[in-house]
Amino acid sequence: MDNLVKDPKRVEEVLNAVLNNTTDNIVYLSVDYKVKAFNNVIYQTLLIHRGKEIKIGDDYREFLTKENEETFYRQFKAALKGVAKTIEFEIIRGESGNIWFEYKINPVYENENIIGLTITGKNINEQKLAQRNLQEKLSILDAVFNSATDALLLFDLEYNVLKFNNVFSKTLEGLSGHKIKIGENFLKTFVTKKTLDVFIPLAERAKLGEQIEIEYFTESKLSSKWLFYKISPVYDVNKNIIAILMTVQDIDNHKKSEIRLQNSEEKFRKIVQSAAHPIIIIDLSMNIILVNSETELVFGYSKEELLGKPISLLIPERFHKNHTQYQADYLKNPLQIRMGHNRITPAKHKFGNEIIIEASLSSFSLNDESHVLIILQDVTQRINADNKIKAQFEQLRKIAWEQAHEVRRPVTNILGLISLLSDENNIDMQKETLNYIKESAEQLDSIIHKIVDYTKGNPL
């Protein structure tokens, strides 16, 4: 050091070597802003970004930008009082874009007196841009979290809370009364041990890269509701799992409606199954989507053989063409058709024989899709009984006609002959009359036999 003091030129060489052996911008100023020393880095920086060459003796204020003048003067005056500061400058370059520098202003002492200041600066543009980019992403993340209608929670692999939105906070507080905080261990905030026992295995699976979805009825002393949980791994740029995102959706109303619908469907199915008549539901394509056990019994098909099949399976082939047109007409104007209104038609049994059915039709909508409900009744025995009664009636009508016409004629003859016989004294005439009576009686006997034979062939 003493040798350096004796050789001022050597001091300047060492100083220049030190200044130029760093990547930082370095300039030494007097207390009146005059440049006393600088390195090549700041020379190049000012030449590139300010378009000026710095020289010994220059007033450093000429290299300041208007945007940074006030900050510089404030920090410069503070350094003159012995207060070292670090500041950041954003140099505005127009179309080429801005660039950020970090500067430290330190006082230089001689015998405890400040004789100047050093300004050390470095280009922090990449760091600043990275921070800004990170901040933008954090802002986007905040916006996503806070605009989401679902409850969102982000926690690390140790279950420490990293981020959550207001929906999650309110959901958790409503269930457990707990106000969640950043940094706390999420395992301590669970509503019940039962819920915790369900969650832990799912979260552990998410740590292995699996995405899990589950509907769970969450119960607590404060509240109980159906929630939908989606637990997903979060990856970094190297595809490493660094956190877990849990999305919670309140599905209580939807789930309860679904349960009520399922219960209603179950009741409906039980009613349909217990009905004493065949019941069939078909869609707009005329395919069977539901049958009851009575349908299986009447038509001989099992449920598996009927579901998904067209309704024409139960219709005799000779009616297929007309039935297709009838289906189209009915779907255009699906009026309710009740039993007992002459809706009697043949139907085909599984084994080919035909039965006679009476049908009731009505349409309804399910999940915005139209369907047709068909209630059937096997009236084969009733129709056969009606036909038998008609045949018996015809038989009785013929018998009545025989009695009114055929039987009356010989009876009239016999009565007339008996009257004639009682008035005659001639024996020969009486004999002839008796012969007529005998002939009429034989006619009457023949008619009676005819009626008996007819009833034998057509029993009542």
* pLDDT tens, position by position, 219-237: 877 888 899 999 999 998 8
Q: Give the pLDDT mean for 142-167.
A: 90
Q: Give the pLDDT mean for 42-68.
A: 87
More reliable by pLDDT, 232 or 333: 232
Q: Give the pLDDT mean for 192-211.
A: 89
CATH 3.30.450.20 domain locations along the chain: 2-129, 148-255, 275-378
CATH number of 148-255: 3.30.450.20
Alpha-carbon distance 371 to 351, whole Å? 28
Adjacent-strand bridge partners of 234? 243
User: Across all residues in the chain, what is the average pLDDT?
Assistant: 80
CATH 1.10.287 domain locations along the chain: 390-457
Q: Give the pLDDT mean for 105-125.
A: 89
Of the candidate ranges 202-211, 217-226, 291-300, the one whose mean pLDDT is the lowest: 217-226
Of the candidate ranges 103-112, 139-148, 328-337, the one whose mean pLDDT is the lowest: 328-337
Task: Single out the residue of 327, 292, 287 nearest to residue 307, CA to CA.
Answer: 287
CATH number of 275-378: 3.30.450.20
Q: Check pLDDT > 80 for residue 436.
A: no
For helices 427-457 and 408-423, the axis angle rounded to 10 degrees is: 160
> How many helices (H) and strands (E) in the chain?
14, 15
Alpha-carbon distance 200 to 335, whole Å? 57
When mean pLDDT is compared over 40-44, 193-197, 334-338, 379-383, the highest value belongs to 40-44
Strands 288-291, 212-219: pairing kind: unpaired
* pLDDT tens, position by position, 127-151: 888 888 878 887 887 888 888 889 9
For 229, other C-beta atoms within 10 Å of its C-beta total 19
Give the amino acid at 345.
T
Task: Single out the residue of 212, 209, 210, 156 nearest to residue 186, CA to CA.
Answer: 156
Of the candidate ranges 26-35, 309-318, 392-401, the one whose mean pLDDT is the lowest: 392-401
Band of the pLDDT at 1, cuts 50, 70, 90?
very low
Band of the pLDDT at 4, cuts 50, 70, 90?
very low
| Terminal-to-terminal C-alpha distance of the chain | 148
Q: Give the pLDDT mean for 29-35.
A: 93
Q: Give the pLDDT mean for 96-100.
A: 74
Which 3 state secondary structure label does DSSP give 194? Answer: helix
- pLDDT computed for residue 99 by the predictor: 79
Do residues 73 and 43 touch, judged by C-beta distance below 8 A? no
Specify the length of the chain in residues. Answer: 460
- pLDDT computed for residue 229 by the predictor: 92
- pLDDT computed for residue 286 by the predictor: 85
CATH number of 390-457: 1.10.287
* pLDDT tens, position by position, 241-266: 999 999 999 988 888 888 887 787 78
- pLDDT computed for residue 451 by the predictor: 65
Q: Check pLDDT > 50 for residue 340.
A: no
Q: Give the pLDDT mean for 172-194.
A: 84
0.85 surpassed by pTM: no
CATH number of 2-129: 3.30.450.20
Percent share of the chain, pLDDT over 70: 77
Of the candidate ranges 35-39, 49-53, 99-103, 189-193, the one whose mean pLDDT is the lowest: 189-193
